[in-house]
Amino acid sequence: MPELPEVEIVRQSLDKKVKWKKVKKVLVRNRNLRFKIPSKLRSFLEGKKIMKVKRFSKYLILCLSKENFCLIHLGMSGTIHLIKNRGREFKTNTSFYSSPFLPKKHNHVEIIFESFRIIYNDPRRFGFFQIIEDSNTLKKKFSQLGPEPFDVKFNLGYISSFFKGKKKNIKNFLIDQNFVSGIGNIYASEILFLCKINPNKKVYLLKLLDCKKILIYSRKVLINAIKYGGSSIRDFKNVLGKKGKFQKNFKVYDRAGLNCKRNGCSGIIKKKIITNRSTFYCNMCQI
């Protein structure tokens, strides 16, 4: 599943292409995604300009004229493709976890502009589209989610008070969107390695210094991931056809059985399933 850095790269790619462009036509070929595509999506989008593409957590937000919004969540396998209306453009993928070429199947939604179109493809159909009529409804939509790691609300006081007296392990907290928005399985493992914290450690046992490390390294890991274009676990490419490169900087993720990269550590990277998710950590320096 794409995490905050990958969705941010898609946002940047889309914003460059669709900002100030008017939607001419919308085609919905299959409404049956995680949630059924709204029946009025076509009438809601057609004729409106996309003023900007924003993001919150793992959601893409198409900011439309008339102060309307359309949310897109990519789910587990959703990809967005850019196709020129004329000519032959083969590399189309702005997203990840699939071929950079437009697939023949599972192209569920087309949003058509004057000279190009964007196509939403999703084989597993866990993604969704949602219509938001005004900014207050948009704010309410995200009010149940925790702050992003970059938000000033995600601070030392917030983290330490949230953890107080709780017995859930830290790995599960980092991927809990009610605690912090945007961190997923890959980056949780990377953050905890830099913090030198075992992913199974109960949060009520964490010291204030541990909480400070979580604050610092959550931001550092995500900033670096965005800088390197996200993590191409398979074939993620942005709108320019360039792969994300952060996977080359993985310290623990998908490195089970290999030596720890930390200087002076003789540990081995282990893989453990925590709440049905693969978790990677060093058996020596993460205590």
Which residues carry out catalysis? 2-3, 58, 277
Contact 53, 239 (CB under 8 A): no
Computed from CA positions of residues 7, 11, 17, 22, in that sequence, does the dihedral angle turn out positive or negative? positive
Tokens of 56: 């919150």
Strands (E), 133-276: 269-274
- One-letter amino acid at 105 equals K
CA dist., res. 287 & res. 209, Å (int): 14
Backbone angles phi, psi at 184, to 5 degrees: -120, -160
Q: Amino acid identity, residue 75?
A: G
Site of tokens 């001419």:
24
91: enclosing H helix or E strand: none
| Residues 232, 93: Cα–Cα separation, whole Å | 13
* CA gyration radius, the chain: 20
Q: What are the beta bridge partners of residue 169? A: 202
Q: Is 187 exposed, middle or buried (0-12, 13-18, 19+ CB in 10 A)?
A: buried
**Cα dihedral across residues 16, 151, 281, 59: positive or negative:** negative
